Amino acid sequence: MSEAVQIVELSRKVGAIADQKISRIVHINREAKYLALNALIEAARAGPSGRGFGVVANQLKHISEQISDISGQLTTDLSGSIAELLDLGDTMITQMQSYQGSRLADMSLNMIEVMDRNLYERSCDVRWWATDAAVVDALMEPGDETATFASSRLGVILESYTVYIDLWILDARGYVVANGRPQQYPHVQGRSLGGVPWFKDAMATANGGEYVAADVQTSRLLNNAPVATYATAIRSEGSASGEPIGVLAIFFDWAPQAQAIVNSVNLSEEERKKARCMLVDSQHRILASSDGEGVLTEQVDLQSNGEARGFYKDKDGKLVGYSITPGYETYKGMGWYGVIQM
């Protein structure tokens, strides 16, 4: 891209220099013509004695006319060639921008696809952990003993699945009866979350195959960590068709996982210095950014015009490639985008 831009800039510079020099030649030649004309007038006045001087003046006039022809041809030839060179350079820039834009859109798609696959696993985790005997018993046989055992079981899961901050079991009223890290988050148990949207939506799921995915938010109960929350109903007897008796909520440790994805985009070192790779939600709020700026606070002016994937130049002249989430398997996605600005 930079080479093509340089070609265009040099072509314009050469054209400007040529115009200046040709204008100078035309100016000097015009003065030479005046001199030749004056010389012819003086030779005519001198009569026979000025005849030789007249010959020289005529020759000078002839040379001046040749210079005029050459400068005119040079102007025509140079302007045509430089215009052609500028068109070629502009075409190269357009083609390279199109290639680069398509490449950014492809990398944006890859970025959101990696996240989709990651979040698909989260949707699977919450659904099968909700059928765990210890999780079900904590609600079917409520008491300190079953709650303690359920917390222990959740703790074992967390040791193996390090992408989670915590796991919670909530009863049908929305009270947390057990969590996987009671030592780290002792204030969680006993809290009422019955009015939280993801709890109500999870209780309303039709069967064990359904789940709720909430947009990334900071959680006050988890020390203000940004989390992606997945929830589903815990059902009677652990059956997929059983009545909802509570909710299992799992909290994906968003920041390190998302940061790893936006930082792993396949860019050259030169591109990485000027690129900004982002994951944004359906409202174009930044969920993760390779520069670490604006996460959960900034909205991107994404001009997708309803297209699932594409590229464009923004108001600052930067190339922007984007792609909406395609989803993965049973995870349909939440309207999030991968976006790369360069």
pLDDT in tens, 219-252: 999 999 999 999 999 999 999 999 999 999 999 9
Instruction: Quickly state the pLDDT bin for 62 (edges 50, 70, 90).
Output: confident
The arithmetic mean of pLDDT across residues 291-296, rounded, is: 94
Place of tokens 């969920």: 287
Instruction: Quickly state the pLDDT bin for 22 (edges 50, 70, 90).
Output: low
Q: How far apart are CA 52 and CA 43, in angstroms?
A: 8
Q: In the predicted model, is pLDDT for residue 1 greater than 60?
A: no
Instruction: Quickly state the pLDDT bin for 65 (edges 50, 70, 90).
Output: confident
Element holding 118 (H helix, E strand): helix 51-129
CA 269 to chain centre: 17
Strand residues in the chain grouped as ranges (E): 164-171, 176-179, 212-213, 217-219, 225-235, 244-253, 276-280, 286-289, 309-313, 319-324, 337-341
Q: In the predicted model, is pLDDT for residue 14 greater than 80?
A: no
Q: In the predicted model, is pLDDT for residue 57 greater than 70?
A: no
Q: In the predicted model, is pLDDT for residue 12 greater than 70?
A: no
Q: Are strands 212-213 and 337-341 parallel, antiparallel or unpaired?
A: unpaired
Which range has the worst mean pLDDT, 4-13, 134-143, 240-249, 330-339? 4-13
Q: In the predicted model, is pLDDT for residue 270 greater than 90?
A: no
Encode pLDDT of 174-196 as tens digits.
999 999 999 999 999 999 999 99
Residue 336: φ, ψ to 5°: -75, 160
Place of tokens 């070192």: 269
The pLDDT value recorded for residue 231 is 98
What CATH number belongs to 2-97? Answer: 1.10.287.950
Helices (H) and strands (E) in the chain, counts: 7, 11
Q: How far apart are CA 307 and CA 44, in angstroms?
A: 81
Q: In the predicted model, is pLDDT for residue 115 greater than 80?
A: yes
Q: 35: which DSSP letter?
A: H
Give the best-scoring range by mean pLDDT among 50-59, 256-265, 328-337: 256-265
The pLDDT value recorded for residue 73 is 75
Instruction: Quickly state the pLDDT bin for 32 (edges 50, 70, 90).
Output: low
Q: Residue 69 contacts by C-beta under 8 Å, 6 or more apart in sequence?
A: none
The domain 130-257 is placed in CATH, from the list 3.30.450.20, 2.60.40.1220, 2.30.130.10, 3.40.50.1100, at: 3.30.450.20
Instruction: Quickly state the pLDDT bin for 210 (edges 50, 70, 90).
Output: very high
Report the CATH superfamily, name and number, of domain 258-341. PAS domain (3.30.450.20)
> What's the pTM value of the predicted model, to 2 decimals?
0.75
130-257 matches 2-97 in CATH topology: no
Residue ranges covered by each domain of the chain: 2-97, 130-257, 258-341
Instruction: Quickly state the pLDDT bin for 59 (edges 50, 70, 90).
Output: confident
Instruction: Quickly state the pLDDT bin for 98 (edges 50, 70, 90).
Output: confident
Cβ proximity of 238 and 139 under 8 Å: no
